[in-house]
Structure 1
Amino acid sequence: MKKMIVTVCQIDPRASQIENYIAELKLHIAQNKSDFVLLPEMCFAEWVAAEKTPSATKWATAVDDHNKHIAALSQYGAKAIMGTRPSINSAGSRRNLAYLWTQESNIPAPVHEKYYLPDEEGYYEHTWYDRGEKSFDLCRTLDMRIGVQICTEMWFLEWARHYARSRADILCVPRATPHGSTDKWLAGGRASAVCAGAYNLSSNLWCPPGEKANCGGLSWIIDPEGNVLATTSEHSPFASAEIDLDFARKSKQTYPRYVPE
């Protein structure tokens, strides 16, 4: 059996709170001997897309804040960490980039740029940055095959089926989603896990109700049959569980995954 300890979290990205959350996350990782950690969407700076009018200066500051924190991921104590970061490519295009950091390389490798971008109150993402390529490839670490769908991308369940065909062991869904919608998102995570025959991990941003950034928390770990193994809350912002990679791999041959397209 190939087992792994995975950790999800909800993090308050406000400048007054982020360092406290990081310190507590490091403690949780040490106590639970976490192998793999999923961070929320663009969690190392305040959620810029809450504002309707984009600012090149604020985006650049968010890029710098993420660079600083990502450079310190070796201090967290995990073997591998995934998150997303604001980026600017060589053509000057702003993107939301998923990355995978590993203890072995100590370099955050690019994995996927967010393709499906909402544009509404609190989430003016299509206004703030550009979509990436329509590409949903696997990345690999710790003998795990990992797919990633950034927030809104989870609702395009055809990609969960794609990841089932690609033999993904886990799907990672870093999020920034609002208060009042957490039950809906958890239901979607369960459906995604069943479609993919893979563990579904999601970490969300969290801010108190009434803040400019409407981020509602509730992160989760769900098994390939849609069973919820662990969740977070305001008072328990970190959660870990043991997953069985063999179970995910066998799940590809059971209902409904075996049913042909």
Structure 2
Amino acid sequence: MSCMRVTVCELPDERQAFAPAWEALVAYVKEQKSELVLLPELPFSAWFGRTPEFKADVWQRAEAEHEVMMRRLPELAPAIVLGTHLLTEEGRHLNRGFSWSSADGYRGIHDKYYFPDEEDFYERRWFDRSPRDFTVAHVQQDLALGFLICTEVMFNEWARHYGRQDANIIAVPRAATRHERWVIAPQMAAIASGAFVLSSNRVDEHLFSGRGLVIDPDGKLLAETSREKPFVTVDIDLEQSTQAKRTYPRDVVE
């Protein structure tokens, strides 16, 4: 599986707008015959990180909304689906990166480790950490995959760490603002790792910028979404990421 057709998106934070956007994404993925789809960070509930106090009822409602939509991932089949969802595990509140496919079902891959704690993004007050783990996951044998969930893409050492594990793709699901760093940091992650970087984002009128991204292993922006074009699909050659590991700056010895 050297060549792969990948789709990134921007999906609305507002719940009434989300439902038709989901239906449109399902239709688009089938029309494009996408093989892999990346969803934004925690796409299945409205963003609750604006609130600085943890509220159990808000968490429980958001978790239930995610559980409902996780059962609808087969609507995107036969594509592999990547994203994050929230769950409670042994009393801890987690933001977990996952893959789903019709062949292998659900697989939890990486729990978000780095959380902001600032206006509109009080995530440190809502989420708990699992032990730090940035290990590549092998999905359907041929695909080596890593997650850098939103803020984590600012920690470039983990992009390089994924590159040393021969990652083909780094998934960067976002709930991010309009600042240009949300383009620069994924580009740097691609350059540091020699992997393709895919990023999807929430979108609204005030906080979230949208702008899903497909970036090649040398940091070139191959495609991006917009309000007018909320989904984009690109054919990538995973062998390009293998070759990139042998070139600068990936070949620099530490």
Tell me which residue corresponds to 2:112.
Answer: 114
Please list, as runs of the form range in 1=range in 2, the aligned pairs for 1:68-83 lying within 5 A after superposition: 68-83=68-83
Corresponding residue SS for 1:186: helix
User: Following TM superposition, by how much is the alpha carbon of 1:60 offset from its aligned partner in structure 2, in angstroms?
Assistant: 1.0
Tell me which residue corresponds to 1:160.
Answer: 159
- 2:191 counterpart of 1:194: yes
Tell me which residue corresponds to 2:16.
Answer: 16
1:234 to 213, 227, 230: 227
Deviations 1:113-133 (A, max 9, x none): 110010000100001111222
Deviations 1:192-221 (A, max 9, x none): 101000000001111112xxxx21111100
Q: For 2:212 and 2:77, how far apart are their aligned partners in 1? A: 20
Contact 1:10–1:217 under 8 Å retained in 2: yes
Q: For 1:224 and 1:238, how far apart are their aligned partners in 2? A: 21
Instruction: For 1:242, give the aligned amino acid.
Output: D
Contact 1:37–1:78 under 8 Å retained in 2: no
Q: For 1:170 and 1:254, how far apart are their aligned partners in 2? A: 17
TM-score (norm 1): 0.94
Q: For 2:184 and 2:190, how far apart are their aligned partners in 1? A: 10
- 2:159 counterpart of 1:124: no
Corresponding residue SS for 2:184: helix
Greater alpha carbon shift after TM alignment, 78-87 vs 217-226: 78-87
Tell me which residue corresponds to 1:215.
Answer: 208
1:247 to 236, 240, 244: 240
Q: For 1:72 and 1:177, how far apart are their aligned partners in 2? A: 25
State the 4+ residue runs in structure 1 displaced beyond 3 angstroms. Answer: none
Structure 1 unaligned runs (5+)?
none
Instruction: For 1:124, give the aligned amino acid.
Output: Y
Q: For 1:229 and 1:215, how far apart are their aligned partners in 2? A: 21
Corresponding residue SS for 1:50: coil
Corresponding residue SS for 1:68: helix
Q: For 2:78 and 2:223, how far apart are their aligned partners in 1? A: 19
Q: For 2:27 and 2:81, how far apart are their aligned partners in 1? A: 15
**Identity across aligned pairs (percent)?**
35
Instruction: For 2:107, give the aligned amino acid.
Output: A
User: Following TM superposition, by how much is the alpha carbon of 1:48 offset from its aligned partner in structure 2, in angstroms?
Assistant: 1.0
User: Following TM superposition, by how much is the alpha carbon of 1:28 offset from its aligned partner in structure 2, in angstroms?
Assistant: 1.3
Corresponding residue SS for 2:172: strand
Contact 1:220–1:231 under 8 Å retained in 2: yes
Tell me which residue corresponds to 1:145.
Answer: 144
Q: For 1:197 and 1:105, how far apart are their aligned partners in 2? A: 27
Instruction: For 1:193, give the aligned amino acid.
Output: A
Tell me which residue corresponds to 1:89.
Answer: 89
Contact 1:102–1:141 under 8 Å retained in 2: no
